[in-house]
Amino acid sequence: MRILKKKGYYYLQHSFRKDGKVITREIYLGGKIPENLEEIREKFLQKHVKPGLYNQCEKITSGFQKEWGHYPESAKARDFQEIAIAFTYNTNSIEGSTITLEETREILQERIAPNKPLRDIKETEKHAGVFLNMLRKKEGLTGPLLSQWHQEIFGETKKDISGKYRDYRVRVGRHVPPDWQDIPKLMNGLFIFYRKNKNMHPVELSARMHYQFEAIHPFGDGNGRIGRLLMNHILWHSKYPVLIIEKKRRMAYYKALEKGEDKFVQYFFRTYLRAHKKYLK
């Protein structure tokens, strides 16, 4: 979505593909950019953009549930394991783990430990366990649940910070998260937002919750992994397939987080539709 200036006047324009064709929608803004541009932009998205995205996401969940419903329990168990391997490898690699995809498989399936740092091996085992438990058991999404995940994953490798909010300042690239003293209030606000917006489309809600959680950055380390578990909790328990942010696409993911919440939501929808395009055919 972009703002165009034509003969001294401004327009808000968005282009998208439908049935192989590029379709453009635009609205007139006037001789100057209005102060309530964000409000106008959101109404424009609700009318022209989001319905199309939502419809495509509905096709994804419908196709996924139809396919998943035909699987016997033994096949579902194998699929859970494969998803856990792929998700654990990618989410840990984004954060600097040295464990490869094949080593992740060996650790989780064969119980073979590679010649790699013990910390990386332990976090691979623990993360997969938390992820599988999250898929199999629907628990209410709360701050204590996120702290529990953090404790389970990092309890052996980062004992001094595991399971508790940070009590010091941090910097993440160019982003300076809020002061640690504000974290309890901000996390409470995050889950108020979640409860108030449970009727929001699940893909959009998972994107916004992930972005807001990462902006708060409540833990001393491991926020990316907890944030990606958080978004997949919302997706999976809303009957949508999970989203794996691949290591090879991590720079696009980082850049999207830097551009603000609405831009991240747009990125998230694009990534989700690309990841599950087989259900759109």
Q: Which residue has the tokens 């990092």?
A: 154
Q: What percent of the chain has pLDDT over 90?
A: 77
Question: In the prediction, which pLDDT does 34 show?
Answer: 80
CATH architecture of 71-280: Orthogonal Bundle (1.10)
Average pLDDT, the chain: 91
Average pLDDT estimate for 63-71? 94
- SS3 string of the chain? CEEEEECCEEEEEEEEEECCEEEEEEEEEECCCCCCHHHHHHHHHHHHHHHHHHHHHHHHHHHHHHHHHCCCHHHHHHHHHHHHHHHHHHHHHHCCCCCCHHHHHHHHHHCCCCCCCHHHHHHHHHHHHHHHHHHHCCCCCCHHHHHHHHHHHHCCCCCCCCCCECCCCCCECCECCCCHHHHHHHHHHHHHHHHHCCCCCHHHHHHHHHHHHHHHCCECCCHHHHHHHHHHHHHHCCCCCCCCCCHHHHHHHHHHHHCCHHHHHHHHHHHHHHHCHHHHC
CA-CA-CA-CA torsion sign (182, 187, 190, 196): negative
Query: What pLDDT is attached to residue 3?
Result: 79
Q: How far apart are CA 88 and CA 232, in angstroms?
A: 12
Per-residue pLDDT tens digits for 183-199: 999 999 999 999 999 99
Distance from C-alpha of 243 to C-alpha of 246, rounded to nearest angstrom? 9
* Long-range Cβ contacts of 177-180 (<8 Å, 24+ apart): 177/215, 177/216, 177/217, 178/215, 178/216, 178/217
Q: Would residue 14 show up in a list of annotated catalytic residues for this protein? A: no
The tens digit of pLDDT for each residue in 4-62 reads: 778 777 777 766 566 667 667 777 778 888 887 766 666 666 655 566 788 899 999 99
For the chain, the residue count is 281
The 10s digit of each residue's pLDDT in 94-149 is 999 999 999 999 999 999 999 999 999 999 999 999 999 999 999 999 999 999 99
Lowest mean pLDDT segment, chosen from 3-7, 64-68, 239-243: 3-7
pLDDT at 26: 78
Q: Which pTM value belongs to this model?
A: 0.84
Max CA pair span of the chain? 67
Q: Which two tokens stand for residue 70?
A: 């035909």
User: Which of 48, 127, 150, 217 is the catalytic position?
Assistant: 217
